[in-house]
A and B are shown apart, each in its own frame.
Chain A
Amino acid sequence: MKRVVITGAGTVNALGLTVPETFEAMREGRCGIRDLVFRDVEKLSIRIGGQVPNYPAEDDFSRKDTALFDRFTMFTIHAAREAVAQSGLVFDGELAEKSGVILGTAGGGATTWDDSYYEVYHQDKNRVHPFVIPKLMPSAAASHVSIAHSLQGPSFTVSTACASSNHAMSQAFQMVRSGMAPVMLTGGSESMLCYGGVKSWEGLRVMSRDGCRPFSANRNGMVQGEGAGVFVFEEMEHAKQRGAEILAEVIGFAMSSDASDIVMPSQQGAVRAMTGTLRDARINPEDVGYINAHGTGTAVNDKTECAAIADAFGSHADKLMVSSTKSMHGHLIGGTGAVELLACIMALKDGVVAPTVGYDQPDPDCPLDVVPNVAREAQVEVAMSNAFSFGGLNAVIALRRA
Chain B
Amino acid sequence: MDVKSTVIAIIAKQAVRSPDAVLMTNTLDDLGIDSLGLVESIFSIEEEFDIQVPFNANDPADSDFDISNVGSIIAGIEKLVADQNA
Docked CA distance A220–B55 (Å): 11
Contact B36 A205 (CB under 8 A): no
Chain A hits for B83, CB < 8 A? none
Docked CA distance A204–B38 (Å): 10
Contact A220 B35 (CB under 8 A): no
0 or 1 for each of A254-282: is its CB under 8 Å from B? (1 = yes): 00000000111000000000000000000
Chain A hits for B55, CB < 8 A? 205
The one of B36, B39, B52, B58 in contact with A299, judged by C-beta atoms closer than 8 angstroms, is: B58
Chain B hits for A203, CB < 8 A? 39, 43
CB distance from B56 to the nearest CB of A (A): 6
Within 8 A of A (CB), among B12-45: 35-36, 39, 42-43
CB of A206 closer than 8 Å to a CB of B: yes
CB distance from B54 to the nearest CB of A (A): 10
CB of A219 closer than 8 Å to a CB of B: yes
A205 touching B57 in the complex, CB below 8 Å, given contacts A262-B36, A263-B35, A264-B35: yes
CB of B59 closer than 8 Å to a CB of A: yes
Docked CA distance A205–B38 (Å): 11
Contact A220 B39 (CB under 8 A): no
Chain B hits for A263, CB < 8 A? 35-36
Docked CA distance A45–B53 (Å): 12
Chain B hits for A262, CB < 8 A? 36
The one of A220, A264, A300 in contact with B56, judged by C-beta atoms closer than 8 angstroms, is: A220
Docked CA distance A196–B65 (Å): 26
Chain A hits for B42, CB < 8 A? 205
Chain B hits for A208, CB < 8 A? 58
Contact B36 A220 (CB under 8 A): no
CB of B62 closer than 8 Å to a CB of A: yes
Docked CA distance A263–B62 (Å): 20
Chain B hits for A219, CB < 8 A? 58
Contact B56 A221 (CB under 8 A): yes
Chain A hits for B43, CB < 8 A? 203
Docked CA distance A45–B43 (Å): 14
Within 8 A of B (CB), among A187-220: 203-206, 208, 219-220
A204 touching B57 in the complex, CB below 8 Å, given contacts A263-B35, A263-B36, A264-B35: yes
Within 8 A of B (CB), among A297-340: 298-300
Docked CA distance A299–B58 (Å): 5
Docked CA distance A219–B56 (Å): 12
CB distance from B65 to the nearest CB of A (A): 11
The one of B39, B59, B62 in contact with A204, judged by C-beta atoms closer than 8 angstroms, is: B39
Docked CA distance A221–B59 (Å): 9
Contact A220 B57 (CB under 8 A): no
0 or 1 for each of A212-240: is its CB under 8 Å from B? (1 = yes): 00000001110000000000000000000
CB distance from B7 to the nearest CB of A (A): 18
Docked CA distance A15–B62 (Å): 31
Docked CA distance A208–B59 (Å): 11
Docked CA distance A291–B26 (Å): 43
Within 8 A of A (CB), among B35-79: 35-36, 39, 42-43, 52, 55-59, 62
CB distance from A233 to the nearest CB of B (A): 36
0 or 1 for each of A103-119: is its CB under 8 Å from B? (1 = yes): 00000000000000000
Chain A hits for B52, CB < 8 A? 45
Contact A206 B58 (CB under 8 A): yes
CB distance from A156 to the nearest CB of B (A): 31
CB distance from A199 to the nearest CB of B (A): 12
Contact B36 A298 (CB under 8 A): no
Docked CA distance A300–B59 (Å): 9
With A205-B56, A205-B57, A206-B57 given, can you name 12 additional A-B contacts, CB distance below 8 Å? A45-B52, A203-B39, A204-B57, A205-B55, A205-B58, A220-B56, A221-B56, A263-B35, A263-B36, A298-B58, A299-B59, A300-B58
Q: Which residues on A are within 8 Å of B, measured CB to CB?
A: 45, 203-206, 208, 219-221, 262-264, 298-300
Q: Which residues on B are within 8 Å of A, measured CB to CB?
A: 35-36, 39, 42-43, 52, 55-59, 62
Give 17 CB contacts A-B under 8 Å. Answer: A45-B52, A203-B39, A203-B43, A204-B57, A205-B39, A205-B55, A205-B57, A206-B57, A206-B58, A208-B58, A219-B58, A220-B58, A263-B35, A264-B35, A299-B58, A299-B59, A300-B58
Smallest CB-CB A-B distances: 8 pairs: A205-B57, A299-B58, A221-B58, A298-B58, A220-B58, A299-B59, A206-B57, A205-B39
